[in-house]
Each structure stands twice: as structure tokens, then as C-alpha cells.
Amino acid sequence: MDQSPSDYDTDVLVWSERQAAILRDLAGSGLALPNELDLENIVEEIESVGRSELASVQSYLRLILLHLIKVAASPRALATTHWLQEALTFHGNIFSHLTPSMRHRIDLDLLWKRAAREATAKRALEGGFKLELPLACPVGIDDLLAEQLDLDAALAKVRAAINPST
């Protein structure tokens, strides 16, 4: 038996896509398969394993960006330390889900827009000044997925990108 790690162990996203493709090919091969084998739903479930892991990574990245925006926009808020601690926790959680193939599938600008929209809405509810945020994420994917998150550097990039209007 082959003792080398499978894609499942090293990159569950690639594994799930590859297994789904194999099962689709099997379903279309004309081979006599048991009627009880629900290949369509099995394929969906296997694909969802990889998509779920990618969604977790994207969610943590969005939360990191949201917290960086909050700190940059309200540097004197009492919750600043808490927000930064949460960003570090989210960053640590990423590595339980991150696989090599995910880095190139993450749309950081989209995650930034979602974080910016949420931060802006919360700010409006709190009666804070309006935030003008760029459309593009000021922090790079390599910065956010580094083994050690440099909060000071990431925060400086977000601060430089924010233009509050009063």
C-alpha cells in the first residue's frame, strides 16, 4: 500500500475536486453501477468538503479586514486591543483550513468590499463619521497569509487607505 500522503492530507480542496471529477466520469462511463448509489448527491457532498474549507478561510480573512478597519477608523476606541486580539485569533484559525491551492482562489478585493460594507454600516448605526474606503484591499494576500501576521504593518496599510470625511 502506498504510504505517501494523499491530496486529502495535503490539499482537501484539490482532493475534493479531483474525486468529484472521477465520480462524474464514472457516472457517465456506462458501467453498470448499483441503483442505490446516489452519485449526484455523493459528488455534491465531496465537492462541498473543499468549498467549506475555502469558505472558512475567506470568512476569517474578511473578519481580519473588518477588525483592521475598525481599529484604523477608531484608534482611540476602548475595544481596540480586543479587536486586534480577535484579528490574531482569526489569523491563527486560518491555518486549520488553508491549503496550498486556496491562495490563488481568494478574491481579496471582494472580501475587502464585504468587510468595508459591514464596517460602514456599523459605523453609521453608531453615528460615527462616514468612512471612505478604497475598492481594492490595501493589504496583500501574502501579508494576511504569512505565518506570523504583522498587525502593525497591516494596520498601517489600512490606515493609509482610509479617508474619513466629517
pLDDT at 3: 46
**For residue 100, is it within any domain?**
yes
Please write the tens of the pLDDT for every residue from 96-140.
999 999 999 999 999 999 999 999 998 888 877 778 899 999 999
**How far is residue 4 CA from its own chain's centroid?**
29
pLDDT at 71: 95
What's the pLDDT band for 39 if we cut at 50, 70, 90?
Answer: confident
Give the CA dihedral 23, 28, 31, 35, nearest 10 degrees: 70
The residue-averaged pLDDT of 67-87 equals 94
**For residue 152, is it within any domain?**
yes
**Grid cell digits, residue 131:** 468612512
**C-alpha span between 88 and 165 (Å, rounded):** 29
**C-alpha span between 135 and 163 (Å, rounded):** 12
CATH number at residue 41: 1.20.1220.20
Contact 111, 65 (CB under 8 A): yes
**For residue 1, is it within any domain?**
no
**Could you tell me the sign of the dihedral formed by the alpha carbons of 97, 101, 103, 107, in that order?**
negative
What domain range is 111 assigned to? 7-161
Contact 61, 144 (CB under 8 A): yes
**For residue 103, is it within any domain?**
yes
Please write the tens of the pLDDT for every residue from 7-26.
888 999 999 999 999 988 88
DSSP string, 63-126: HHHHHHHHHHH-TT-TTHHHHHHHHHHHHHHHTTT--TTTGGG--HHHHHHHHHHHHHHHHHHT
**For residue 123, is it within any domain?**
yes
**For residue 38, is it within any domain?**
yes
Q: Look over the chain and give the mean of its residue pLDDT values, rounded to a whole number.
A: 90
pLDDT at 65 over 50: yes
Percentage of the chain lying above the pLDDT 70 cut: 95
**For residue 166, is it within any domain?**
no
- Provide the whole-model pTM: 0.88
pLDDT at 38 over 60: yes
What's the pLDDT band for 163 if we cut at 50, 70, 90?
Answer: low
**For residue 111, is it within any domain?**
yes
Count of structural domains within the chain: 1
